[in-house]
Structure 1
Amino acid sequence: MADPRAFLSFDFDHNKQSKDLFAGQCNSKSPTPFTAFDWSSKTSLPQAQWEAEIKKKINRTNMLIVLVGRSMGTATGVVKEIAMAKSQNVPVFGVYVDGANTLSTLPTGLPRTRTVAWDWAKVAAKVRQMMNEGKNV
């Protein structure tokens, strides 16, 4: 079986650097092989076009990983991506980045019980959990 594919959801305005670090490290330091994709839109698109494009991309993955930063309260795109994943039976979990922790605001739709510290053993355990419970494309 090929490595599981993960869509990375993040607050573009506040956590792009954390996303770049996470994506780079996941392919070299993760104890569980998985491939993370930054399929975020690189240009501003009309809302309906953005939603259709992102929904299609999420559907081609095994899971959605939300990089939870300190400014999640303003990340409306992340909330939409979580809803899209859930509507397509793509499992979702979160990873705290950029100094966020268990006291930080989570985006709507992401339970705290499905959010872990950025520790590769914990991330790997969540990847395995998502593969056991989720959509295997």
Structure 2
Amino acid sequence: MDDKQTPNNEVPQLDGQLCFSLYSTSLAMSKLYRKLLRKLGLTYSQYLVLMVLWEQNELTVSEIGERLFLDSATLTPLLKRMEQAELLTRIRAASDERQVIISLTEAGSLLREDAKKFPSQLLCAVGCELDQVVSIKQQLDVLRSNLNKNT
């Protein structure tokens, strides 16, 4: 046990908490992304939606939500704003009008080229070797999966 961890009968120390390390790291990563995405006129949430659609265009709202771990109540207003910004279209499925199909517009597709620079910029900013970043990401994926099983 290091000096930041505490026995069960003591008050937990902030710097010894996994949740705080994840939270503060997420804040730092978000700050970096805000700087990069400002040039494209995007929020981080919008960027994530675009990434999903760059991988596979024409998805339902629920399919996008599954990929991003977001419910439709959170996702729908975001998608409406992106439609107003002419980054995507939302069209009711002919086979089932309850489903809305999300598709990229030309403007949304073109942003992919600008975003291709991000991985190298992020790797430089994190100050780790690529294999370290890959390992950290894999560990976080396992952690997220385990946490999702318990929620």
Range class of TM-score, shorter chain: under 0.3
> Structure 1 or 2: larger helix share?
2
Normalised TM-score (structure 2): 0.24
By relative contact order (CA 8 Å, sep 6+), the higher-ranking structure is: 1
> Structure 1 or 2: larger strand share?
1
Normalised TM-score (structure 1): 0.25
Q: Which has the larger radius of gyration?
A: 2
